Amino acid sequence: MIELFIFRLLLVCAFIIGVYSFGDWKNLQSYYPTMLFVMVVNLTSSLLTYHHILWGFGPDFFVTTSTVVELLNSYIALPATVFIFLSRFPSSGRLIQYAYFALWVFIFSTIELIDYTLGGISYQNGWSWRISTLFDVALFSFVKIHHSKPFLAWSITFLLAAIILFVFDFHTAEMK
């Protein structure tokens, strides 16, 4: 449990340091709508999957419920990620852009794998680390799309949400 707490503390510190070191503060306003988009989508998914979770978070000394982890993700980790990701997104060179994108997917999937290994996250109802990695591909795609075409990103997000609800056998009776 102490290892999980230290890992989460290091993550929060890394996000905060990353924002101050790599964030493009002069253009924060242009990234802000996408930061809010990711926060809303994460909080909505937490609400919709309340009784039919796909992943859950284990407690540590400080964080005692999944709700606290979701709030930390929604208000610190995800907005910081969007801010840094968009601030440093390469402006030219498709190959460089794809490599940058792949780097972020790798970072997120590695963080989740470490979290899983430490008992910080568990998967239920057919979800897995591999599916989560595919979800990271979708996440970073939607972040990039939303930054330039918000309506398209919302449309694709609703479509993906419907697919997830269908594939992972959600019923409206299970929703809070």
* DSSP labels, 17-69: HHHHHH--GGGHHHHHHHHHHHHHHHHHHHHHTSSS-SEEE---SS--SHHHH
- Length of the chain counted residue by residue: 176
**Given the structure tokens 């609400």, which residue do they identify?**
47
**45: its two tokens:** 């998914």
pLDDT recorded at residue 176: 61
Q: How confident is the model at residue 174 (pLDDT cuts 50, 70, 90)?
A: low
Q: How many separate domains does the chain show?
A: 1
Strands 121-123 and 55-57: antiparallel
* Distance between CA atoms of residues 73 and 4, nearest Å: 15
Predicted local confidence at residue 59, as pLDDT: 79
The reported pLDDT for the residue numbered 57 is 87
Give pLDDT tens digits for 110-142.
999 999 999 999 999 999 999 999 999 999 999
Q: φ, ψ for residue 106 (rounded to 5)?
A: -60, -45
pLDDT for 173 equals 59
Check residue 64 and give its pLDDT: 81
pLDDT tens-digit profile of 65-93?
Answer: 888 888 888 999 999 999 999 999 999 89
Is the pLDDT assigned to residue 61 strictly greater than 80? no
Domain extent, residue 87, equals 2-174
Give the sign of the dihedral formed by CA 68, CA 69, CA 73, CA 77: positive
* Long-range contact set of residues 43-48: C-beta below 8 Å, sequence gap at least 24: 43/70, 43/74, 45/161, 46/70, 46/74, 47/175, 47/176, 48/161, 48/165, 48/170, 48/175, 48/176
* Mean predicted confidence (pLDDT) in 51-67: 83
The chain-wide mean pLDDT, for the chain, equals: 92
- This prediction has a pTM of 0.91
Amino acid residing at 128:
S
What was the pLDDT predicted at 86?
98
